[in-house]
Chains A and B, each alone.
Chain A
């Protein structure tokens, strides 16, 4: 958190220049990327993985993926941060799912515990986007929790909560529009 306040003193890359320098495999570009985005990506990861050790491990993995897959980044499809955010989210969910799967073989039958694991983690509720999600009404919150933070498909959620797929889809869309207005600066 501390260093974010001094970031403006640093050599400033435009996003396009940064991507070019990263593709040229420049260490200084990677250092800049880490110094500028590690905190933000860490908050995304920590929002999904409450265990700090695990989150730290995934953060490293995420940066290695970003570094090694930068060639695949296409700026026509979105901003660099959005691309990195999705890598961070997917990697975190993979880790979460692996762990869940190891702990309980039943997977989809776990409605209650999954639901509770989402809402009863006190630390997670205070981190990043998840903090904002918790401002939503419960019926919306659960859908964002399960889909965005735990990676379940809408079909899976429909079965878990025993709510029709169409309703899940409509409610999730509404939840996301509300989320947008909450984080809009």
Chain B
């Protein structure tokens, strides 16, 4: 192929000016890759065409630039850093781009203020919610603690009752019922006496609450004489008393706190024989 003749045929100009048909376009785009001189001829003509147009530029009407930027304002992406365009230059023939930028900044600022206000409101709202939640939580913790204390208390009581039940069911246990003596008929108490170990347990089923400074004292009647069998303390279920090797009867009197060496017979409440 005579490449110079090809270049001089006017095909280069047809191609650049957009007058070539599809077949011609395909051919020249192939040839420009193979022959640098074809490519160079294309570039040369492009450049002279560009220069010709630049040299003969016709300033557009003043409002065009502004309208165009208005129309495309939403399509510009933020750029950082902004490339400044010399204002002296743009000021002469063209409308400055300031209005568009300041307008878009106003929108941005307005949006930022709205977001900030929203954020502050949410902070206040959620702080209030947090405060309430924190105090609710405290209340729940307190309630849980008191429930736990109650549960512990009941568990302790239950354990004592449990062991009391076990003791009472023991077949070696002798049960001595002590009804109220004349004048104290409404009262009753029971002694559980282990016939093997000789341990004594008292179940104060029905005795009036002693006045302050007073305490119930259990006596074992051994060969007609009262023997101290211990003070009735603050226990649930069965109260373990002193070990009594043998006795014929048990009785309870109300004595001063800490007990007396001998029973006050006028304050005798209940009594039962074995």
Residues of A near B166 (CB, < 8 A) are: none
Of B58-66, B143-151, B173-181, the stretch lying at the interface with chain A is B58-66
Q: Does B42 sit within 8 A of A, measured CB to CB? A: yes
Main secondary structure of the interface of A (DSSP, over half): helix
Known contacts A35-B90, A85-B49; A26/B59 CB under 8 A = no
Complex interface bits, A27-51 against B, C-beta within 8 A gives 1, otherwise 0: 1111110110011111110100000
Beta-carbon contact of B56 and A180 below 8 Å: no
List residues 74-108 of chain B with CB under 8 A from any CB of chain A: 75-77, 79, 82-86, 88-90, 92-94, 97
Give B43's nearest chain A residue, CB to CB. Answer: A79
User: Within the complex, which residue of B11, B45, B52, B79 is in contact with A28, where a contact is CB–CB below 8 Å?
Assistant: B79
How far does the alpha carbon of A32 sit from the alpha carbon of B86 in the complex, in Å? Answer: 10
CB distance from B48 to the nearest CB of A (A): 5
Beta-carbon contact of B68 and A63 below 8 Å: yes
Beta-carbon contact of A56 and B57 below 8 Å: no
Residues of A near B29 (CB, < 8 A) are: 77
Residues of A near B49 (CB, < 8 A) are: 81-82, 85, 129, 183
Residues of A near B56 (CB, < 8 A) are: 40, 43, 127-129, 131
CB distance from B268 to the nearest CB of A (A): 109
13 new A-B contacts at CB < 8 Å, known A79-B47, A128-B56, A129-B53: A6-B92, A27-B76, A39-B58, A41-B53, A42-B59, A63-B68, A64-B71, A77-B29, A78-B16, A172-B10, A175-B10, A180-B12, A183-B52
Beta-carbon contact of A26 and B18 below 8 Å: no
User: Within the complex, which residue of A34, A42, A89 is in contact with B68, where a contact is CB–CB below 8 Å?
Assistant: A34
How far does the alpha carbon of A184 sit from the alpha carbon of B41 in the complex, in Å? Answer: 12
User: Within the complex, which residue of B13, B50, B86 is in contact with A40, where a contact is CB–CB below 8 Å?
Assistant: B50
Q: Does A107 sit within 8 A of B, measured CB to CB? A: no
User: Within the complex, which residue of B46, B52, B75 is in contact with A128, where a contact is CB–CB below 8 Å?
Assistant: B52
Give B16's nearest chain A residue, CB to CB. Answer: A82
Number of residues of chain A lying within 8 A (CB) of chain B: 64
CB distance from A85 to the nearest CB of B (A): 7
Residues of B near A52 (CB, < 8 A) are: 61
What are 22 pairs between A and B in contact, CB < 8 Å? A6-B88, A7-B89, A21-B79, A25-B76, A26-B77, A30-B69, A30-B76, A31-B97, A34-B65, A35-B89, A38-B64, A38-B65, A39-B58, A40-B50, A52-B61, A56-B64, A81-B46, A127-B58, A148-B17, A172-B14, A173-B14, A184-B48
Give B50's nearest chain A residue, CB to CB. Answer: A81
How far does the alpha carbon of A44 sit from the alpha carbon of B58 in the complex, in Å? Answer: 9
Complex interface bits, B27-43 against A, C-beta within 8 A gives 1, otherwise 0: 00100000000000011
Give B45's nearest chain A residue, CB to CB. Answer: A180
Residues of A near B57 (CB, < 8 A) are: 1, 4, 38-40, 42-43
Beta-carbon contact of B86 and A11 below 8 Å: yes
List residues 153-185 of chain A with CB under 8 A from any CB of chain B: 172-177, 179-180, 183-185
Complex interface bits, A95-112 against B, C-beta within 8 A gives 1, otherwise 0: 000000000000000000
How far does the alpha carbon of A184 sit from the alpha carbon of B76 in the complex, in Å? Answer: 37
How far does the alpha carbon of A89 sit from the alpha carbon of B248 in the complex, in Å? Answer: 135
Q: Does B72 sit within 8 A of A, measured CB to CB? A: yes
**Interchain pairs with CB closer than 8 A, number:** 173
How far does the alpha carbon of A78 sit from the alpha carbon of B17 in the complex, in Å? Answer: 11
Beta-carbon contact of A44 and B54 below 8 Å: no
- Which residues does B use to contact A, with CB under 8 Å? 8-14, 16-19, 29, 42-43, 45-54, 56-61, 64-65, 67-69, 71-72, 75-77, 79, 82-86, 88-90, 92-94, 97
Residues of A near B69 (CB, < 8 A) are: 27, 30-31
Beta-carbon contact of B8 and A177 below 8 Å: yes
User: Within the complex, which residue of B42, B53, B92 is in contact with A3, where a contact is CB–CB below 8 Å?
Assistant: B92
Residues of B near A44 (CB, < 8 A) are: 53
How far does the alpha carbon of A42 sit from the alpha carbon of B97 in the complex, in Å? Answer: 20
User: Within the complex, which residue of A9, A25, A59, A89 is in contact with B77, where a contact is CB–CB below 8 Å?
Assistant: A25
Q: Does A90 sit within 8 A of B, measured CB to CB? A: yes
CB distance from A115 to the nearest CB of B (A): 18
Residues of A near B83 (CB, < 8 A) are: 11, 21, 26, 28-29, 32
Complex interface bits, A70-89 against B, C-beta within 8 A gives 1, otherwise 0: 00000001110110011001
